[in-house]
Every structure is written in structure tokens, then in C-alpha cells.
Amino acid sequence: MVLSWFNDFDITMIAIAADIMKENIPEPKLSYINSILKKWKKSNIKTPADVEREQAEFEKAKAEKESRSKNSDKLSSKPTFDIEQIERDALNNFEI
């Protein structure tokens, strides 16, 4: 597995993948590095600048998703109706 990495990437890119692995998982795993490199190959990421660009795009998308999630929480936690008015209307329309 490790030798095949050098068919597509230089040592710098493999080291960057190893650094990303160290930041994200507690136990080192070659399979994690392998999955990073496979993703990069599929996405045509070949240079450290490509990695930086891809990570910036990922962080931006993550922040936007979190922002949308927070906004949706705010919207769903506030009722869009006046419960007191509904109670008054219900009491006034009660027929025996």
C-alpha cells in the first residue's frame, strides 16, 4: 500500500496526509492516510496549494452548514403564533 502512494504523490504530499491523520485520529492508521490520498487522487489534488484550497473550501462549507443549522434552531424554537390569542379565541368560541 505505502509503495503505491509514491506512484501518484511525492513525499511532501504523503507527509501532509500524515499530518492530517495526526490531527484527526488518536491512533495512527495507514488506512486513514490511504483514504486521504485516494480522495486527493480522485479530486485531482496534487500540490500543497491544492490541499490548502480544498481544506479552505471544506471549512467554508462546514461553517455555512453550522450557520444554517443554528438559524434553523432559532427559527424552530420561536413560535410563529400567539398562544394567548389562540386561547382567547378558543374560549370565546366554546359552545355548549
Mean pLDDT across the chain = 87
Query: Is 96 inside any structural domain?
Result: no
Cβ atoms within 10 Å, residue 79 = 8
For residue 71, what pLDDT is reported? 67
Query: Is 44 inside any structural domain?
Result: yes
Q: At what angle do helices 11-24 and 30-42 cross, to 10 degrees?
A: 120
Whole-structure pTM value:
0.66
Q: What total number of domains does the chain contain?
A: 1
DSSP one-letter string for the chain: -HHHHHHH--HHHHHHHHHHHHHH-SS--HHHHHHHHHHHHHTT--SHHHHHHHHHHHHHHHHHHHHHHHHHHHHHHS-SS-HHHHHHHHHHT---
Query: Is 92 inside any structural domain?
Result: no
Query: Is 6 inside any structural domain?
Result: yes
Query: Is 52 inside any structural domain?
Result: yes
Query: Is 90 inside any structural domain?
Result: no
pLDDT in tens, 17-44: 999 999 999 999 999 999 999 999 999 9
Domain that holds residue 20: 2-79
Query: Is 84 inside any structural domain?
Result: no
